[in-house]
Amino acid sequence: MLKVVSNSSPLIHLAKIGLLDLLAEEFGEILVPRAVWHETVEEGGGLPDSEVIAHASWIRILEAPPSPLLTSLLTSLDQGEAEAIALALDTEADMVLLDETEARQVADSHGIRKTGVVGVLIRARRQGRIDSLSDVLGQLSTTGFHLTRQICQKALEAVGEGR
C-alpha cells in the first residue's frame, strides 16, 4: 500500500457523503498531522462527519516536526495544509491528499504526488466501488465542496460518463 498523508478537506467531504471508507479501501492507513485531526475531529466535535472520522481506525495521527520548512509553509497555507505537506516530506509519503489549489501548487513545487476528493472518486468509479460518479459529484456539491462545471465535466469524461 502507498504511504498517504491527508489534509482535512478530503476527510470531511468524503465523510459527509458517506464515502470516507474509500480512502481505507484505496490506500489502507492514512496519516494525518495533529492540526488536521484537531480541525476535523476536535473542532468539529459532535458533527456526524466528525464522528465518522474519529472512529476510522485506519487513520493514524502523527506530529509534523517543527522545521524551517513548516514555518515557511505557514506563511502561505493554513495549519492543516502546511502540516500535511511537511509531514508528507518528513515521512517520505508516496502521496498527499489535498483539494485547495494553493496547497496543491506547493506540493507540486516540492515534488510530492497528490490527489484530492475528485481523484479518489474517479479511481473508485473505475474500480467499481461507486456506481455513478455523476450522482456522487451531485452529493459532494451539497457539502460545501467547490466544484466547477469544468472539473465535473473532466471527471465524468475520465470515467466514461461525460456528455
Residue ranges per domain, the chain? 4-117
pLDDT in tens, 101-120: 999 999 999 999 999 999 99
The pTM score is 0.94
pLDDT in tens, 82-103: 999 999 999 999 999 999 999 9
For domain 4-117, give its CATH number from 1.10.1760.20, 3.90.1490.10, 2.40.30.260, 3.40.50.1010: 3.40.50.1010
CA 131 to the chain's CA centroid: 21
* Torsion 150-82-119-16 (CA) sign: negative
